[in-house]
Amino acid sequence: MKSFGKKSPWSALKKALATTAAAAGVALGGAAQADDTIKIGFGMALTGGLAGAGKGALIAMEVWRDDVNARGGILGKQVELVYYDDQSNPATVPGIYTKLLDIDEVDFVVSGYGTNLIAPAMPIMMQRGLVFPALFGLAVNEKFNYDNYFQIMPAGPEPMTDWSRGFFEIAMAQDPAPKSIALVSADAEFARNAATGARQTADKLGLEIVYDESYHPKTADFSPIVNAIQARKPDIVFVASYPPDSVGMVKAVNEVGLKTRLFGGGMVGLQFASIMTALGPQLNGIVNYDFWVPEPTLKFEGVEEFLVKYQKAAEGKGVDPIGYYLQPYAYAYLQVLDQAIAATGSMDHAEIGKYMRDAEFDTVVGKVRFAPNGEWAKTRVLQVQYQGIEDNELATFTKQGTRVVLYPAEWVSGELNYPYAQ
């Protein structure tokens, strides 16, 4: 392939077979890539625990592909997406990316959704020197230090601590300031990373950690955990959880009647339409991270136009019908790659990677610039509070004011209802 520095033995064999087949007048399907096509390959969670998010991300990526091809493609070439179901299983990832590169001969690869599915692909990217745009991995590059890794999630240059920084800033701004905290997290990579950052910030602020436990990812009943937290009487509670756990935790907190001043922080899933409508008023008062909500401060150019297209494409497909959380970023990380290829006029990964490290990009999630570690140069992890929710209707969560932005300061759209216990 033109875009990579090294050829695999399989690639060389395929070329030899293609030459032989051509001489015999036989076509080998997919053996040679058309000059007028750019192939972008990836694995995506289309089944398994992350499928709800993965399927929505795929629709957003297909919207981007159609938009790009309608305008004439990239460098005059039409874009093709080549993808496989990673089954939400990290063990499938190395095989998928090896196949994409050596058999499908894609020009570029991007990651699937989530920390656990990005990390297993990193050694392959590093070995081959590939540009690797990533979709929502928390602190993946902390252990790899790879200079061609580019994360579209707006965690910030210090992702572990930037992730929860807003939660702590909101808490410490209250009068009286909290003195103690409970930390609870799933025993999985994303949640461990989030809890590590929260623990470091708590220590720095001098907060007493009165509860610090992780739970098995298959935990179904969270009432014992909430009762144990309640017994320690923490001023604030930070939770790092995955979608099923987040639902269980919110239900347990409402059943037990948790008494604390601030609750939430790092709960994945509370951003999803299906979960918001299932929990409804039980969400009120929770302060949690998010990336885009329909507040007036976040009307970036192109985002509403994209959402209209996404929502139309998502009809009847069993995915998030509004697509506020992940989908704009799935579109945006491909926008970044598109702009870098176009600006350099090149398919060379080294040249494109250098451009991505230095440039600023215009996307549907606003302007994006990367720090040297591939994270956003400045954090924009929102902290939002669920307010005034009285029913379980989807339309409620499309309205301004149901998830007000409390952090960062330049995006604030409302005021904190405090404390959570009330």
Q: What is the pLDDT of residues 371-422, one digit of tens each?
A: 999 999 999 999 999 999 999 999 999 999 999 999 999 999 999 999 998 8
User: Distance between CA 334 and CA 59 in Å, rounded?
Assistant: 13
Task: Classify residue 77 by its DSSP letter.
Answer: B
User: Distance between CA 143 and CA 146 in Å, rounded?
Assistant: 9
Position 374 in a domain: no
pLDDT in tens, 208-218: 999 999 999 89
pLDDT in tens, 311-338: 999 999 999 999 999 999 999 999 999 9
Judge whether residue 56 has pLDDT over 70.
yes
What is the mean predicted confidence (pLDDT) over 56-72? 98
Predicted local distance difference test score (pLDDT) of residue 32: 35
On whether both 263 and 179 belong to a single domain, the answer is yes
Position 216 in a domain: yes
pLDDT in tens, 270-279: 999 999 999 9
Percent of the chain with pLDDT over 90: 88
On whether both 78 and 206 belong to a single domain, the answer is no
Only one residue has tokens 């240059």, namely 157
User: Distance between CA 339 and CA 359 in Å, rounded?
Assistant: 10
Predicted local distance difference test score (pLDDT) of residue 259: 96
On whether both 195 and 344 belong to a single domain, the answer is no
User: 58 to each of 94, 145, 382, how far by Cα in Å?
Assistant: 20, 28, 24
Of 30-39, 58-67, 261-270, give the lowest mean pLDDT range.
Answer: 30-39
Distance in Å from the first CA to the final CA of the chain: 61
User: Distance between CA 301 and CA 359 in Å, rounded?
Assistant: 19
> Domain holding 274: CATH number?
3.40.50.2300
On whether both 403 and 286 belong to a single domain, the answer is yes
Judge whether residue 252 has pLDDT over 60.
yes
Confidence of residue 299 (pLDDT cuts 50, 70, 90): very high
User: Distance between CA 285 and CA 379 in Å, rounded?
Assistant: 24
On whether both 127 and 41 belong to a single domain, the answer is yes
- Name the residue among 393, 391, 371 with its Cα closest to residue 380: 371
Position 31 in a domain: no
- Name the residue among 243, 253, 194, 195 with its Cα closest to residue 222: 253
Predicted local distance difference test score (pLDDT) of residue 35: 76
Position 12 in a domain: no
User: Distance between CA 126 and CA 5 in Å, rounded?
Assistant: 12
Judge whether residue 47 has pLDDT over 90.
yes
Q: Which domain holds residue 66?
A: 37-155+300-369
Predicted local distance difference test score (pLDDT) of residue 189: 84
What is the mean predicted confidence (pLDDT) over 167-184? 97
Position 127 in a domain: yes
Position 22 in a domain: no
On whether both 281 and 398 belong to a single domain, the answer is yes
Say if CB 178 and CB 261 are below 8 A apart.
yes
Judge whether residue 10 has pLDDT over 50.
no
What is the mean predicted confidence (pLDDT) over 74-87? 98
The DSSP code sequence of 329-340 is: HHHHHHHHHHHH
E runs forming strands in 335-394: 360-363, 366-369, 382-386
pLDDT in tens, 387-398: 999 999 999 999
Position 105 in a domain: yes
User: Distance between CA 261 and CA 240 in Å, rounded?
Assistant: 17
Position 18 in a domain: no
Predicted local distance difference test score (pLDDT) of residue 6: 40
pLDDT in tens, 103-145: 999 999 999 999 999 999 999 999 999 999 999 998 999 999 9
On whether both 70 and 186 belong to a single domain, the answer is no
Predicted local distance difference test score (pLDDT) of residue 290: 97
User: Distance between CA 139 and CA 77 in Å, rounded?
Assistant: 34
On whether both 166 and 286 belong to a single domain, the answer is yes
On whether both 187 and 291 belong to a single domain, the answer is yes
Q: φ and ψ at 189, to 5 degrees?
A: -60, -50
Residues 6+ apart with CB under 8 A from 206: none
Say if CB 349 and CB 130 are below 8 A apart.
yes
Predicted local distance difference test score (pLDDT) of residue 49: 83
What is the mean predicted confidence (pLDDT) over 364-370? 98
* DSSP H/E element including 239: strand 236-241
Say if CB 58 and CB 43 are below 8 A apart.
no
On whether both 171 and 272 belong to a single domain, the answer is yes
Say if CB 269 and CB 246 are below 8 A apart.
yes
On whether both 170 and 264 belong to a single domain, the answer is yes
Say if CB 279 and CB 394 are below 8 A apart.
no
Predicted local distance difference test score (pLDDT) of residue 52: 87
On whether both 283 and 364 belong to a single domain, the answer is no
Please provide the size of the chain in residues.
Answer: 422
* Overall number of domains in the chain: 2
Predicted local distance difference test score (pLDDT) of residue 422: 82
Say if CB 55 and CB 317 are below 8 A apart.
yes
CA 13 to chain centre: 37
